Copies of this chain bind each other. A is one copy, B any other.
């Protein structure tokens, strides 16, 4: 047991660069403006991506930069960036190294997404610490313990839901959780819960949204006779299955597939799509704009 737990910690990559993310109305000179601030403070830009949505005239930028040669300090650089952002009427956010967020995973009884998160973390692909696993059932406690992670059960009934969510929020806040991953958690989280962690809850839905919003998507896919099934990772918002989409993928099926086959094939999709979305979030490669995600780094 101990070996599994300790191994997982050592392989997580050490991300030593900072990330600047910018969004706002497009205007002339915006790329040069932020580049010059970073450059002027002695920070070497390692990579930089920009995107302009020409329909809405909105501009987006993500730059990774090395702070080891910074001539000033974090506060001074932040102020410099803020001034430019203010002048250009834009939003700018810097994430300082190490990029290693604290993550809580919510599960119920399905294991596949949970295992994939644990194993991909163990393989060093997810730069984060999994600080706790929260469930409405005790079933996945033993798996969690193998990986040396805290497991907390909050049983949910219609009557206790609000109260239990309050306790969950307390726990999550006490652990300074940055990101919540709903790994096939079979409860609808409340509007209040969602708005407590805006763009910090990632859910996996087992369909190609917006097709088959809501419950039993595989059964409905079977009924409709579609030729592909899908999975969608999105930020959870008050509107069920309507939050900003981070990642989607599909898999070919045919008439030989029963509902059970769709469920089995879907597991492969769900776990991979969820991990890709979580990785994007952890690497600060996402900018949410309205109800859409700009996904950098592909």
Please list 24 pairs of residues, one from A and one from B, whose beta carbons are closer than 8 Å in the complex, sorted by A's number. Answer: A3-B142, A4-B142, A28-B44, A28-B69, A29-B39, A31-B35, A32-B45, A35-B35, A35-B36, A49-B49, A111-B119, A208-B208, A209-B211, A210-B212, A211-B211, A225-B291, A226-B245, A226-B248, A227-B245, A227-B247, A227-B249, A227-B295, A228-B248, A228-B249
A55 interface contact, C-beta 8 A: yes
| A114 to B49 Cα, complex, angstroms | 35
- How many copies of this chain sit in the oligomeric assembly? 4
A196 interface contact, C-beta 8 A: no
| A234 to B212 Cα, complex, angstroms | 18
Q: Are B123 and A225 in contact (CB under 8 A)?
A: no
Q: Of A98-106, A168-176, A185-193, A254-262, which binds chain B?
A: A254-262
A112 interface contact, C-beta 8 A: yes
CB within 8 Å for A226 and B255 given contacts A31-B35, A115-B119, A143-B4: no
| A35 to B37 Cα, complex, angstroms | 12
Q: Which B residues are in CB contact (< 8 Å) with A15?
A: none
Q: Which B residues are in CB contact (< 8 Å) with A125?
A: 264
Q: How far is the CB of A24 from chain B (nearest CB, A)?
A: 16
Tally of chain A residues near chain B (CB < 8 A): 68
Q: Mark A228-244, 1 if CB is under 8 A from B, else 0.
A: 10100000000000001
Write the residues of chain A forming the contact surface with B, with a CB cutoff of 8 angstroms: 1, 3-4, 28-29, 31-32, 35-36, 38-39, 44-55, 69, 111-112, 115, 119, 122-123, 125, 142-143, 146, 208-212, 222, 224-228, 230, 244-245, 247-250, 254-256, 258-259, 264, 267-268, 272, 291-295, 297-298
Closest to A27 in B: B44
Closest to A3 in B: B142
Q: Which B residues are in CB contact (< 8 Å) with A35?
A: 31-32, 35-36
CB within 8 Å for A294 and B211 given contacts A52-B46, A226-B245, A227-B245: no
CB within 8 Å for A268 and B272 given contacts A244-B225, A248-B227: yes
Q: Which residue of the partner chain, among B4, B51, B228, contacts A256 with CB atoms under 8 Å?
A: B51
Q: How far is the CB of A230 from chain B (nearest CB, A)?
A: 8
